[in-house]
Homo-oligomer: A and B are copies of this chain.
Amino acid sequence: MNELELVDWLKRTVTSAQGLIVGIGHDCAVFRPNAGEDLLLKSDQLIEGVHFRSDLPPAAIGERALARPLSDIAATGGQPRICLVSLTMPQKPPAWVKGFFRGLLRLAHRTRTALGGGDLARSDRVYCDVMLCGVVPRGQALRRDGARPGDSLWVSGRLGKPWDRRIEPRLALGRQLRGQATACMDISDGLALDLHRLTKASGVAAEIERIPVARGVSIERALHGGEDYELLFTLPKNARGPRGTTRIGTIVRGTPGNMFFEERPLEPRGYDHFF
């Protein structure tokens, strides 16, 4: 299956979407946002041997490659619109390539994301980078630097889940938090490291009182493991989190980035992809 054949197959397979004027097979995708929308842009890499094991089925790799940046669009309160897929891989049977794109396109369809283009190359391992463009009503993008002392601290779901499960990006929750959450981000590198980033960006400290831990895992893993893809957010003092979320603590005055768990200092240790 050469480049022209794959691109032809993709053109026949993908469905179009709101605002996509020019799609696969052109120099650029052309996208027309609605008036009053801000654009959200995110890219996320998925590399064989770094982010997934070589024996993961191709459809699961494709799904995961899109799920990760979708989680960031969720954390910003947005609606995904267009993705571009850069894929580098060794020679593989056509079934592998189609499996990868079928997994990705299934999730794309479910989240109303159009495949607008991408780039293909050959190398000795699978390397994928998905660029995602989403939209949010003007001025309503959630960000991580708005937490204030007295705010309550929340997470969705349970933390410390195994890496190889399916990721369900919290898109509906993110949209629900627009205009409600004072800060929001997704947990991709572990609660401790990501809360450190949120509190440092907001110029505050945090006290954690409890953590909703996934079945059968340690508190240690729930604190410092990565790949949760749940939302971490803050609400004004007396606001209540939506269904499926848990209050885990409180934002306090203090050295920006400082954290306490059960009254002891908590290290910002987690998954740093780059040390």
Q: Give me the interface of A with B, judged by CB distance under 8 Å.
A: 2-4, 6, 21-22, 25-33, 35, 38-45, 47, 49-51, 72-73, 75-76, 78, 82, 84, 86, 88, 116-123, 125, 127, 129, 131, 133-134, 136, 138, 141, 143-145, 185-186, 201, 272-275
Query: By CB atoms of chain B within 10 A, which of A43, A47, A136 has the most?
Result: A43
Q: A75: nearest residue on chain B (CB-CB)?
A: B27
Indicate if the CB atoms of A28 and B141 lie closer than 8 Å. yes
Cβ–Cβ < 8 Å partners of A201 in chain B? 25-26
Q: A1: nearest residue on chain B (CB-CB)?
A: B274
Indicate if the CB atoms of A29 and B35 lie closer than 8 Å. no
Indicate if the CB atoms of A42 and B117 lie closer than 8 Å. yes
Indicate if the CB atoms of B131 and A44 lie closer than 8 Å. no
Q: A200: nearest residue on chain B (CB-CB)?
A: B4
* Complex-state Cα separation, A2 to B271, whole angstroms: 11
Number of copies: 2
A84-B131, A88-B47, A131-B41 as given contacts; A3 in contact with B275, CB under 8 Å? yes
* Complex-state Cα separation, A238 to B213, whole angstroms: 72
Cβ–Cβ < 8 Å partners of A30 in chain B? 38-41, 76, 136, 141, 143
Q: A231: nearest residue on chain B (CB-CB)?
A: B27
Complex partner residue of A144 from B27, B72, B116, CB under 8 angstroms = B27
Cβ–Cβ < 8 Å partners of A119 in chain B? 43-45, 129
* Complex-state Cα separation, A69 to B32, whole angstroms: 20
Indicate if the CB atoms of B274 and A28 lie closer than 8 Å. no
Known: A32-B38, A49-B123. 12 other contacts (CB 8 A): A3-B273, A3-B274, A4-B272, A22-B143, A27-B72, A27-B186, A30-B41, A31-B38, A42-B84, A43-B131, A51-B121, A122-B273
Complex partner residue of A134 from B4, B28, B125, CB under 8 angstroms = B28
